[in-house]
Structure 1
Amino acid sequence: MARGSGREDSFDCIFLADDRFYLEGYREGFEAGSRRGKLEGRRHGASHGAKFSTEISFYYGFAISWKCFLQKDVDAKSRKRVKALETFLMLIQMSSHEDAQNKNLQHNVERVRAKFRQVCSLLNVHTDFNDYIKGSSGMSF
């Protein structure tokens, strides 16, 4: 009996080898995929974070520049534009952009973009942020 059980154990080992190799391969593949996924996720997050930061920084610099330019004028139209720019600046500063986990982040960004379009309409300037970025890509320092 002991001899038969040894033979059965060796046959079981052979028959179960497929399952064992499958499970080992799955585990190794899962671990490798998890590591690669984390690296790709970091790279993707950094890329989108940089684009987002560039956009918000552009809006802020745009508003500051126009506000400085228009403060010299005292007519009613210029005061209305400056007021819109101040509101735009306040919206940018009050919106939380640092926390990527913030549930309101997308909503805040959409509000900033909408206000940017409104301010551009008041100033009679083009509203596409991507055109501004493309236009400045040829600059070198």
Structure 2
Amino acid sequence: MDDPFDSSFNLEETHLKEGYDEGYSHGLDAGREEGKQVGLKVGFEVGEELGFYSGCIHIWTSAIQIDPTCFSSRAKTTITQMQELIQKYPLMDPEDLQVQEIMDSLRLKFKMLCSSLHVKLHYNGYPGEANVTQF
């Protein structure tokens, strides 16, 4: 026969399990929403940075078309390499393992090119670089 007090003895455990299950469910929902917001923010930042580099390359290639002697052959090679990296960037596959490698290469080539051209261009979106002269 069932003891009429069994439900009273398990009351605390029942409430604990219900609270855990409810908290877990809310945590999943909140985590999904936060993940979505972070993904949108980071995706926008990456697109903005790629657009900045693409715009610079477009201007430099236009200058080369007008005056092929305006840049050294080394600078032209770097511009071409940057253009290839941007075309190679997997926009539709953010989980591609090359994403960070390509972005790091683009940043490095951009800094090298600006240095060799004696131009002080700076992308405002670089993380952690405050108090830098900005263009």
Q: TM-score if structure 1 supplies the norm length? A: 0.79
Structural mapping, 1:35-54, within 5 Å:
35-54=29-48
Whether 1:125 and 2:91 are equivalent positions in the alignment is no
Structural mapping, 1:57-72, within 5 Å:
57-72=51-66
User: 2:24 & 2:125 partners in 1: Cα distance?
Assistant: 42
SS of aligned partner of 2:71: helix
Give the unaligned 5+ runs of structure 1.
Answer: 137-141
Q: Which of 21, 24, 47 is equivalent to 1:27?
A: 21
Question: Larger radius of gyration, structure 1 or 2?
Answer: 1
Bigger RCO of structures 1 and 2 (CA < 8 A, at least 6 apart): 2
The aligned residue for residue 139 of structure 1 is none
The aligned residue for residue 106 of structure 1 is 100
Q: Would you say the 8 A contact 2:122–2:134 is kept in 1?
A: no
User: 2:28 & 2:17 partners in 1: Cα distance?
Assistant: 16
The aligned residue for residue 71 of structure 2 is 78
Which has more helix, going by share of residues?
Answer: 1
Letter in 1 for 2:62: C
User: 1:14 & 1:64 partners in 2: Cα distance?
Assistant: 75
Q: 1:67: how far off? A: 1.6
User: 1:61 & 1:74 partners in 2: Cα distance?
Assistant: 19
Give the fraction of aligned pairs with identical amino acids, expressed as a percent. Answer: 27
How many residue pairs get aligned? The number is: 128
Q: Which of 90, 97, 103 is equivalent to 1:96?
A: 90
- CA offset digits 1:79-123 (Å, max 9, x no partner): 423332122111211232331111221111111111111221222
Deviation above 4 Å: which 4+ runs of structure 1?
A: none
Give the unaligned 5+ runs of structure 2.
Answer: 127-132
Q: 1:129: how far off? A: 1.2
Q: 1:128: how far off? A: 2.9
